[in-house]
Structure 1
Amino acid sequence: MSVVGPLAGRSIVVTRPQAQAAPLAEAIVAAGGTPIVFPLLEIAPAADPQPLAEAAARLAEYAVAAFVSPNAVEHALPVLLTHAAWPAGLLPAAVGQGTVKALAARGVTGCIAPTERFDSEALLALPELAAERVAGRRVAIFRGDGGRELLADTLRQRGATVDCITCYRRSGPSDGVAPLLSAWRQGRLDAITVSSSEGLRYLVDLLDAEGLVFLKATPLFVPHARIAENARALGLSNIVLTEAADAGLIAGLRAYNWLQ
């Protein structure tokens, strides 16, 4: 029986970390396509566990606990809840809805998060993080190594005391890009979805001249304008900006004119 759907006959690369790749891969299958799961970021616990342990010990002292990603929830929350339940007066905050769901799945509800644009700017625009609400209060930000400082810097400017706690670290693909090159050479790689500027930089750095030619000719679906800007800065131009999150990526894939 032939496969039907808007993505029938199309092979789409899913580059989210392994633990977050399944929903988008399943949506691609539901639309008739074939997902190629190729995480551009590998996630591991932070090299130094002490800062997270110390944050757990003083969790009740914080007014707000912000989680930048589902990975932050996965690596921080088990430690934070080892000795006590989530403090009643601690407001959880998240950059995206996937992080809200990850918190809720572990029993932490009442989370504030943007509902349209999913980035630090949108989180900072919420009234709960206005200067009059955070001044003189303590905020914890649970995140990976590196990343943007906008959230922490802005909250400090608003008068908050901010602790940034690294609870996981990121690295590029350990097995190289041979699977992608093989798919390209066989003519069975039609598009790539990218949800991380850092992951995209790893990909560009890993590809040789042949791979870069393939990449530049392949539609790159990205769910945020900042990723699109970074892609252009890396010399890519075949970029499709979609709405946010997995829902935006799959909608963009389904609507794309594959015959153009």
Structure 2
Amino acid sequence: MTGWRLLLTRPADESAALSCVLAEQGIFSSCLPLLEIEPIAPSDTMRAVIAGLDRYCAVIVVSKPAARIGIDLLSQCWPRPLQLKWFSVGAATAYVLEAFGLEVSFSAEGDDSEALLELPELREAIARPDPRVLIMRGEGGRELLAERLRELGASVDYLELYRRGLPRYATAALPDRIEAERLNGLVVSSGQGFEHLHQLAGDAWPRLARLPLFVPSPRVAELARAAGAQTVVDCRGANAAALLTALREQPVPVL
């Protein structure tokens, strides 16, 4: 497994933490963040949503940035005990919320909306008259979770807490980094992360598409394959443990 030389593309702080875990296993990694998180300044509307949290039978937090920024907003606007049903998309997001003292349910079967929707605790939470669900997320994003919850009879509101951008790089920054550091694997943590990878690759994408690409879910795997990625490895999770398991099972390519 120590033959891997990986490109990490998460936001800078997350890539740095993951790099340390990989280094402990003898795996070289290089960080080129392809997602930049910009918190949205709290507005009166956002504060009003927090003040009315007890209207909801479930609160779903979809990412670690949503958890961190949401906790800051909670600290400012919610002085009462948080007797709510909390859910997260993935274990890593749950850990951020649990560190704040919240009890969080999440699926151990995958770090995506599809896995969360199958969670019995979520189905139980919305099995009440006129269920109302709040989703904490970034600006835009997938609509699948809200659509499925509405099909199950719930009304859904969003609390959008941040924007995602692509950091500014020189035109050939991505292929140059891969060539200079002899990288033999790419890691993305979300659909938007892959889209930014594809965009930044530019004319070099046909060459980079031959490298093993590690993704967190079947949905992102589908995006990557549709774009021409030749070896897509679904880690079934965005955490370090899931990536390490996938690396152990995938042969190191001979370049």
Which moved further from structure 2: 225-234 or 187-196? Answer: 187-196
Aligned residues: 252
Does the alignment pair 1:17 with 2:11? Answer: yes
2:158 aligned residue: 164
Q: TM-score, normalised by structure 2?
A: 0.89
Distance across 2 between alignment mates of 1:102 and 1:200: 24
> Given residue 127 of structure 1, which amino acid in structure 2 is its aligned partner?
P
Distance across 2 between alignment mates of 1:187 and 1:103: 36
Distance across 2 between alignment mates of 1:175 and 1:189: 18
Sort the Cα spacing of 1:24 and 1:135 in 2 relative to 1 into closer, same or farther, 3 A.
Answer: farther
Q: CA deviation at 1:87?
A: 3.8
Does the alignment pair 1:218 with 2:211? Answer: yes
Q: CA deviation at 1:47?
A: 6.2
Sort the Cα spacing of 1:45 and 1:236 in 2 relative to 1 into closer, same or farther, 3 A.
Answer: same
Q: Deviations over 1:116-153 (max 9, x none)?
A: 12221221222233276254132111001111112112
Equivalent of residue 204 in structure 1, options 169, 173, 198: 198
Equivalent of residue 35 in structure 2, options 38, 41, 62: 41
Q: CA deviation at 1:50?
A: 4.0
Q: Deviations over 1:171-207 (max 9, x none)?
A: 1122346443223333511111112111111121222
Q: CA deviation at 1:37?
A: 1.1
Distance across 1 between alignment mates of 2:244 and 2:128: 37
1:3 aligned residue: none
What 5-or-longer segments of structure 2 have no aligned partner?
none
Equivalent of residue 119 in structure 1, options 112, 133, 150: 112
Q: What's the Cα RMSD here?
A: 2.2
Contact 1:60 1:87 in 2 (8 A): no
Sequence identity, in percent?
Answer: 36
What 5-or-longer segments of structure 1 have no aligned partner?
1-5
Q: Deviations over 1:145-171 (max 9, x none)?
A: 111112112222222222111111111
Q: TM-score, normalised by structure 1?
A: 0.87
> Given residue 106 of structure 1, which amino acid in structure 2 is its aligned partner?
F
